[in-house]
A and B are shown apart, each in its own frame.
Chain A
C-alpha cells in the first residue's frame, strides 16, 4: 500500500473498516490469550459470546462459534482460561473481537503434561507391572470403599452389592474426591485401611469429573499409597474414558464404581448361582429317586395283593396241621388193619397153593408113568406093523418099476429107425450119403442107395414125377 496515497486519501468508514479487518485477520491469528471469563452468554445459534479480562481492567470481547465450541467445555464466568484463536474486526459494529477456536482452563495443559511425565516415571519404576498385581481374594467378607460419604457413588455400590452379594459387609472410608487436600486424604485412607485391615480389599473410587477433578487420583501420594498397599486395590475413577494413574498402579481397574462393585461380588454372585443350580439339581434328584421308589412300591403292593388273594384261596383248601395229623393217624390205623388182614390172607393162600401144587405134582407123576408105559407099548406095536407094511410096499414098488421098465424098453425098440424099416419102410441116400426127403433132391441119372431092413439096393433115377 502506498503511504502517500493513504495520507492524501479521505476514506469512508466502511473502507477503513475493511482495511482494519483485512490487516487484523492477516496479522493476528494463532494467538494464545489468557484472562478471566466474564459476561458469558449464548444464543439460539449456539454461538458463545463472552469477554476475558485482566486484573488491571483490560477487556477483550470474545466469540466461540458453534462450529468450534461443540468440542469444548463451556466456560463459567470467573474461570481463568487460555484461548487460542485470531483477532477479527467487524466493520458494521466497529468492534474488535477475539474469535476463540479452543478454550482450556489455565493450568489444564500443564496438568496433563505433568501427569504424563509422572506416568512415564512410575512406569519406569515398575509400579504398573503386571507381575506385582495382587489377585482379588476368593472369599470376600468385607469390602473397603474409599470415596465421598455423599453422592451417588457409595449409593450405587451399596445397591449393586445388595443385589448380587447381600451378605458382604461394606466399610466406607470417607474421603475428599477432588480439590485441595484430596490426594493426601485419599492416600491417608489407603494407609489407614492397611494399618488395620478391617476389610479384604479396597475400592478407590469416585464419579465422573473434569481432568482437574480427577487429578488427585494421579497424584504421587495416591500412587505411592496404592503401590504400598497390602490389601488388593481396585481403582474405579470417573468414566470408562478416564485413565487416572491410580488405574495403572492398582491391582485391577474398573471402568466405573458400579463395575467395581460387580467385579468384587462376582465370586459370591457365581456361588449363589451355583448354589441355586445345585439346589435344583438335588431337588430333581431326590424327586426322581422318590418317584422311582414309589413306582416300585406300587408294583410291589399290587404283587402283595395278588399273593394275598392266592393265599386266601389256598387257605380254604389247606387243612390245619392238627387236622392233618388226625387224618394221617386214622389213615395209618386203617392201613395197619388192612395189612394184618392181607398178611393173614396171604399166608392162607400160600399154604393152599403149596398143597395144591404138591397134589398136582403127585398126580402128574403117576399119570406120566402110565402114559410112558402106554407110549412104549404102542410104539413097539407100530414098529412091528410098519416093518410088515414097508416090506409089502417095497415089493409092490419093485414090481411096478419092473413092468414100467419093460414097457419103456419095448417102446424104445419101436422108436428105432431100424424097427421102422422092419415095418416096410426104406431109406434113400444120394451119392454123398445124404438122406433124400424130397423129390427135388432127385437128379435124373444120378445113382442112389436104398436101405431096407436087411440090406441095400443100388438104383439109378431114370425119371421123376412130383406129386
Chain B
C-alpha cells in the first residue's frame, strides 16, 4: 500500500473510532490496525535509512554514484 492510501485508511479509522456505534472489539481491532499503519508510516517518514550519494562520473551521459557517509560532508 502507498503512503497516501495508508494515511487515508488511518483517517478512516480515526472517524470509525469516534463513531459510538463501533463496538469495543471492533475498536480494538481498528486500533491495532492503526498502530501498525502509524508504525509503518512513521518508519517511512522518520527512518534514518536515507541514502546519501555522490555522482562520480563527469560525463552527462553516464551516471555512476558512490555512497557518502552521513558525517562526511
Chain B residues whose C-beta falls within 8 Å of the C-beta of A192 in the assembled complex = 55, 57, 59-63
Q: A281 at interface (Cβ–Cβ under 8 A)? A: yes
A166-B50, A167-B46, A271-B7 known; A282+B17 contact, CB < 8 A:
yes
The stretch among A154-162, A241-249, A428-436 that forms the contact with chain B is A154-162
- Give residues 157-207 of A contacting B (CB, 8 Å): 158, 161-162, 165-174, 188-189, 191-192, 195-196, 198
Question: CA of A169 to CA of B53 in the docked complex: distance in angstroms?
Answer: 8
Instruction: Give Cα distance in the complex from A172 to B56, angstroms.
Output: 9
The digit string for B7-33, where 1 denotes a CB below 8 A from any CB of A, is 100110110011000101001100100
Cα(A167)–Cα(B3), bound, Å: 13
Question: Are B14 and A275 interface neighbours, CB within 8 A?
Answer: no
Interface presence of A285 (CB below 8 A): yes
Q: Measured between C-beta atoms, what is the minimum distance from A175 to chain B in Å?
A: 10
B53 and A172 contacting across the interface, CB-CB below 8 Å:
yes
Task: List, in ascending order, chain B residues with CB within 8 A of A139's CB.
Answer: 3-4
Q: Report chain B residues within 8 Å CB of A293.
A: 24
Closest to B45 in A: A272
B38 contacts A289, CB within 8 Å? Answer: no
**A162 touching B45 by the CB < 8 A rule?**
no
B53's partner among A161, A170, A196, A279 (CB-CB below 8 A) is A170
> Is there an interface contact between A171 and B53, defined as CB atoms closer than 8 Å?
yes
Question: CA of A167 to CA of B48 in the docked complex: distance in angstroms?
Answer: 5
CB distance B45 to A271 under 8 Å? yes
Give the docked Cα–Cα distance between A281 and B34 (Å). Answer: 11
Residue pair A289, B17 in contact (C-beta under 8 Å): yes
Least Cβ–Cβ distance between B19 and chain A, in angstroms: 10
Contacts of B46 in A (CB 8 A): 166-167, 272
Q: Does the CB pair B73–A154 fall under 8 Å? A: yes
Contact A167:B44 (CB < 8 A) given known A195-B63, A293-B24:
yes
Q: Is the interface of A mostly helix, strand, loop or mixed?
A: helix
Q: Which residues of A contact B5 (CB under 8 A)?
A: none
Asked whether, in the complex, the Cβ of A172 is within 8 Å of the Cβ of B68, the reply is yes
Taking the nearest CB of chain B, how far is it from the CB of A202, in angstroms?
A: 12
Say yes or no: A149 contacts B14, CB within 8 Å: no
Are B28 and A286 in touch, CB under 8 angstroms?
yes
Bound together, the chains give a CA A198 to CA B64 distance in angstroms of 11
Asked whether, in the complex, the Cβ of B61 is within 8 Å of the Cβ of A289, the reply is no
A231 within 8 A of B: no
Q: Which of chain A's residues 127-169 have a Cβ closer than 8 Å to chain B?
A: 139, 142, 149, 154-155, 158, 161-162, 165-169
Task: Return chain B residues, CB-CB under 8 Å to A167.
Answer: 44-50
Q: A64 vs B54: C-alpha distance in the bound complex, in angstroms?
A: 46
Once the chains are docked, how many angstroms separate the CA of A1 from the CA of B57? 76
Contact B45 A275 (CB under 8 A): yes
A282 to B14, CA, bound (A): 6
- Residues facing B in A316-371 (CB within 8 A) are none
Residues of B within 8 A of A282 (CB): 10, 13-14, 17, 31, 34-35, 38
Whether A158 and B38, one on each chain, are in contact in the complex, defined by CB atoms closer than 8 angstroms, is no
- CA of A278 to CA of B38, assembled, Å: 9
Q: Does A268 contact B (CB under 8 A)?
A: yes
Tell me the A260-294 residues at the B interface (CB within 8 Å).
Answer: 268, 271-272, 274-275, 278-279, 281-282, 285-286, 289-290, 293
- Which residue in chain A gives the minimum CB-CB distance to B3? A139
With A155-B73, A272-B46, A275-B41: A196-B17 Cβ-Cβ less than 8 Å: no
Contacts of A271 in B (CB 8 A): 3, 7, 45
- Complex CA gap A229/B38 in Å reads 36
Name the residue of chain B whose CB is nearest to the CB of A165: B45
- Tell me, in angstroms, the Cα distance from A329 to B70 when the chains sit together: 95
Instruction: Among B18, B27, B49, find the residue whose CB has the most chain A CB atoms closer than 10 A.
Output: B27
Give CA–CA (A196, B59) in the complex, Å: 12
Chain A residues within 8 Å of B57, by CB: 192
Q: A139-B3, A285-B18, A293-B24 given. 15 additional CB < 8 A pairs?
A: A154-B73, A162-B50, A167-B45, A171-B55, A172-B52, A195-B63, A271-B3, A278-B38, A282-B10, A282-B14, A282-B38, A286-B17, A286-B27, A286-B28, A289-B27
Chain A to chain B contacts (Cβ below 8 Å), 28 pairs: A142-B51, A149-B54, A149-B73, A154-B73, A162-B48, A166-B50, A167-B44, A167-B48, A167-B50, A169-B51, A171-B52, A188-B58, A189-B55, A191-B60, A192-B59, A192-B60, A192-B63, A195-B61, A198-B65, A268-B45, A272-B46, A275-B7, A282-B13, A282-B31, A285-B17, A286-B17, A286-B27, A289-B24
